[in-house]
Amino acid sequence: MAIKIITDSACDLPKSIIRKHNIKIVPLTVNFKEESFLDKFEITTDEFFDKLENADELPTTSQVSPGEFVSAFKENLGEEDEILGIFLAHELSGTIKSAQMAKDIIGSDKIKIVDSRSVSLGEGILVLKAIDLVNKGTDIDEIVKVLEETTKKVKTAAAVDTLKYLEKGGRLTKKQAVIGSMLKIKPIIELRDGQVLAVDKVRGKKRVIKWIENWIDKNNYDLNNKTIILLNGRGQELHDSIKEILINKYNAKDIIESEIGSVVATHSGPGCAGLAFINE
């Protein structure tokens, strides 16, 4: 009996991983006024950022509908198959609720659904854990149990390069954004318990790197034997600096580099970078 993994486009895993492990991606939708695009399928990250930088209003995102999940589940649910669905946190989107509705419509107990309690790189690292468990031959009920426990062990940190899009999204006043930009303020973001949390702010990219080093050191994270997702959203310089310290200072060996998708990039804007791993 085969276990097929289905996740949403907000997981931000690289295409090479998706293809290699035959992961089914169900896309959210990005809306620029009258234009709508299926995330990762009808708009690339570069195309998204080009549109974002020229947009008068912040784009919106739409969750996956129950009908789309019904189609995806039926397409992948053979007589000898089981489906493991891993989706972005219910606090951030109604996508997982749509998946549960689709499961109820189909009425199959061979569909299991897991709330990643995260998004983007935090969601992606949980999908990687699921891939590993499936490849080891773990049964689906045990995988669900392990994944639900693992959500508490996912560690993420990311830096946002500009305050422009946080201001556009109503999280900062225009005055705060202008002052912050003048001072080269870089907010530090963590994904925790289904929330996107601004945990600190620093001035300049060098201090972002120092913050990440301090975060790793004070928590005694051992990165030597961990898979790490390194995410980049047109923040190549910062991305490269983070990668350098992970390898040279922390002896990281298994680094998966990926690109931020339009769902999260709607709020981060260009110039962001971050990392995620499971602390176990």
Position 177 scores a pLDDT of: 45
Least confident stretch, 3-17, 24-38, 91-105, 190-204: 190-204
CATH node for 154-278: 3.30.1180.10
Query: pLDDT per residue over 234-264, tens digit each?
Result: 989 999 999 999 999 999 999 999 999 998 8
- Give this prediction's pTM: 0.92
Query: pLDDT per residue over 133-189, tens digit each?
Result: 999 999 999 999 999 999 999 999 999 876 666 555 554 455 444 444 544 668 888
CATH node for 2-151: 3.40.50.10170
Question: pLDDT tier at 87 (50, 70, 90 boundaries)?
Answer: very high
Pick the closest to residue 82 from 127, 116, 113, 117 (CA basis): 113
2-151 and 154-278 have identical folds: no
- Where along the chain do its domains lie? 2-151, 154-278
CA atoms within 13 A on the CB side of 152: 4
Query: pLDDT per residue over 27-83, tens digit each?
Result: 999 999 889 999 999 999 999 999 988 888 889 999 999 999 999 999 999 878 999
Least confident stretch, 4-18, 46-60, 224-238: 46-60
Question: How far is the C-alpha of 82 from the C-alpha of 78, rounded, in Å?
Answer: 8
